Every structure is written in structure tokens, then in C-alpha cells.
């Protein structure tokens, strides 16, 4: 199984990176082939709404680093998308990534975009936030899960790590096993 992690945070070694990599570590221990992409290393422009992806046979016509992600997604069985909560929502980086998925929405409308498998790709949406109240953004989290289901992902889990204003995620002993378990079951599902 191939699993790719997308770290949609501007902080290369921040909480989001650590959380996504911990989930991937759990998956790797179960034999999955994993690869992570860090937004801070990539130059990805927002969707231009040109509809070029619907007219061309080669997909999105913007020639930037999202092309690497399209290739990786095409060959992946599962994705782990990590984002910090910014102002009650996903980060700008995660939104840019999501909008660029327009090029694959929907495979029915974009016959050029062939996923390796007929089966829906699995997705873990991993959020993290400073505030300790896990119910604070629940309606947004539920809505976002539904939106990715409309994009034809099989959303397996939506972990939300809270309370990070009190200290970095890597110092939280409880998270090490919990996040690895998410990756492990993703690889086995």
C-alpha cells in the first residue's frame, strides 16, 4: 500500500509535520510505502478557475509543484492531509491544495485522471489547534469531512489534536501511540 502525507502548514517542523509523520510512521511499521510532502518546500499556486483541467487531456494546466502531488496522488492508495486550524478553518495551504483537487473532481468528469485503483482512495484528515476545546470547530470539521467525501475520498478518520497552545505535540506522550495507531489501521484497512 502506498500512502502519501501532505503537511499543509507553513512551519516545516511544527505540530502538523510531526502529527502527519507520526501517522505515516505507524503505517510504515505495517509495511506501507510512505512519502510526505511539506508545503513549505513546494511552490503551489491557487486554482485560477480557468477550467483548463476540464478541457485538456493532461489535467491541470498550471505548471507548478502541484503536478508532483497529482502524480503522487494518482499512485497512492491513501492520503494523510494535515492542517493546523487557522481562524476556525483549514490553513490557506490546505485550502489551496483542496481547490487544486478541482482538477480531479470528479473522475467522472475528468476521464484523464485515472487513479491506480477503482476503489476510492482512503483519507485521514488530521487537524490540530491551539485551543483545548475539541467541540469548538466540530461543525466545520464535519462539513470538511463531508466535502472530501463529495470529492470521492473514503474518509477513514478525522483526528483533531487540541490544546497545543500549552506545548508542542511531540511532548504529549498520549499522542505518540494514538497517532501511530491511526496510521497502522489505515495501512491494514
Ligand X SMILES: Cc1cc2nc3c(=O)[nH]c(=O)nc-3n(C[C@H](O)[C@H](O)[C@H](O)COP(=O)(O)O)c2cc1C
Residue number, nearest CB to ligand X = 14
Binding site for ligand X (CB under 6 A): 9, 11, 14-16, 84-88, 128-131, 164
**Shortest reach from residue 139's CB to ligand X, in Å:** 14
Closer of 87 and 150 to ligand X (Cβ): 87
**Distance (Å, whole) CA 61 – CA 117:** 24
- Of 8 and 73, the one with the shorter C-beta distance to ligand X is 8
Q: How buried is 152 (Cβ within 10 angstroms: 0-12 exposed, 13-18 middle, 19+ buried)? A: middle
Diameter of the chain measured on Cα atoms: 50
Shortest Cβ 28–ligand X spacing (Å): 21
Give whichever of 46 and 130 is closer to ligand X, judged by the CB atom: 130
Residues 67 and 87: their CA atoms lie apart, in Å, by 28
| Residue with cell string 499556486 | 45
The length of the chain is 189
Distance of alpha carbon 153 from the chain centroid: 11
Shortest Å distance, C-beta 96 to ligand X: 15
The residues near 63 (Cβ < 8 Å, ≥ 6 apart) are none
Q: Which is nearer to ligand X, 110 or 129 (CB)?
A: 129
Least Å distance between CB 12 and ligand X?
A: 9
Amino acid at each position: 500500500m502506498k500512502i502519501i502525507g501532505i503537511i499543509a502548514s507553513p512551519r516545516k517542523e511544527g505540530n502538523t509535520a510531526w502529527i502527519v509523520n507520526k501517522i505515516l510512521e505507524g503505517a510504515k511499521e505495517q509495511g506501507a510505502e510512505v512519502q510526505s510532502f511539506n508545503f513549505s518546500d513546494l511552490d503551489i499556486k491557487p486554482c485560477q478557475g480557468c477550467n483548463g483541467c476540464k478541457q485538456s487531456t493532461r489535467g491541470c494546466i498550471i505548471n507548478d509543484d502541484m503536478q508532483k502531488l497529482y502524480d503522487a496522488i494518482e499512485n497512492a492508495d491513501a492520503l494523510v492531509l494535515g492542517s493546523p486550524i487557522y481562524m476556525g478553518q483549514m490553513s490557506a495551504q490546505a485550502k489551496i491544495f483542496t481547490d487544486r483537487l478541482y482538477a480531479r473532481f470528479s473522475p467522472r468528469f475528468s476521464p484523464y485522471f485515472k487513479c491506480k485503483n477503482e476503489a476510492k482512495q482512503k483519507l485521514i484528515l488530521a487537524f490540530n489547534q491551539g485551543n483545548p476545546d475539541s467541540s469548538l470547530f466540530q461543525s466545520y470539521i464535519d462539513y470538511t469531512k463531508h466535502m472530501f467525501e463529495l470529492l470521492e475520498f473514503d474518509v477513514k478518520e478525522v483526528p483533531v489534536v487540541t490544546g497545543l497552545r500549552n506545548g508542542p505535540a511531540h511532548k504529549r506522550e498520549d499522542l505518540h501511540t494514538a497517532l501511530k495507531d491511526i496510521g497502522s489501521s489505515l495501512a491494514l484497512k
